[in-house]
Amino acid sequence: MKRKIYMAAGANTISMGTGRNEFNPRKERPGLEYYIKTAGEAALSQVSGPDAVDEIYVGNFMAGLFNRQGHLGGFAATIHPSFEFKPSMRVEGACSSGGLALISAIRSVLAETAEVAMALGVEVQNTVKAIYGADILASAGWAKKRKNGHAYFFPGQFSDRAGVYYQQYGYDYARKGMGRWYRNAIENARLDPTAQEFHNSVTDPEAAYHQAAPNGKFFVDHLNVLDCSKVSDGASAIFIASEAGLTRLGINKKDAVEVVGFAQLTRNITNDPPNPTEMTTVGRAAAKALENAGITIDQVGTAEIHDCFSIAGLLTMEALGLAAPGKGAAFVSEGHTARNGRFPVNTTGGLIGWGHPTGATGVHQAVTIWQQITGKAGQAQIELPNDRPYGLSINMGGDDVTVVAIVYKPA
Among the ranges given (47-51, 134-138, 189-193, 261-265), the one the predictor scored with the smallest mean pLDDT: 134-138
- State percent of the chain over pLDDT 70: 100
Distance CA(196)–CA(232), nearest Å, equals 8
Task: Give the model confidence (pLDDT) of 93-133 as tens digits.
Answer: 999 999 999 999 999 999 999 999 999 999 999 999 988 99
pLDDT classification of 1: cutoffs 50, 70, 90: confident
pLDDT at 147 over 90: no
The fold adopted by the segment(s) 5-129+231-254 is: Peroxisomal Thiolase; Chain A, domain 1 (3.40.47)
Residue-wise pLDDT tens digits, 322-366: 999 999 999 999 999 999 999 999 999 999 999 999 999 999 999
Calculated CA dihedral for residues 191, 197, 202, 204, nearest 10 degrees: -70
Is the pLDDT at 75 greater than 90, yes or no? yes
Per the DSSP assignment, residues forming a β-bridge with 256 are 8
What's the chain's average pLDDT? 97
Q: Return d(Cα 221, Cα 392) in angstroms, integer.
A: 32
Distance (Å, whole) CA 307 – CA 314: 9
Q: Could you tell me the residue ranges of all domains in the chain?
A: 5-129+231-254
The two beta strands, 256-266 and 233-241, are unpaired
What pLDDT was estimated at residue 130?
87
Enumerate residues 6+ apart whose C-beta is below 8 A from 260: 1, 292, 293, 294, 295, 390, 407, 408, 409
Task: For residue range 277-298, list pLDDT tens digits in order.
Answer: 999 999 999 999 999 999 999 9
Q: How confident is the model at residue 369 (pLDDT cuts 50, 70, 90)?
A: very high
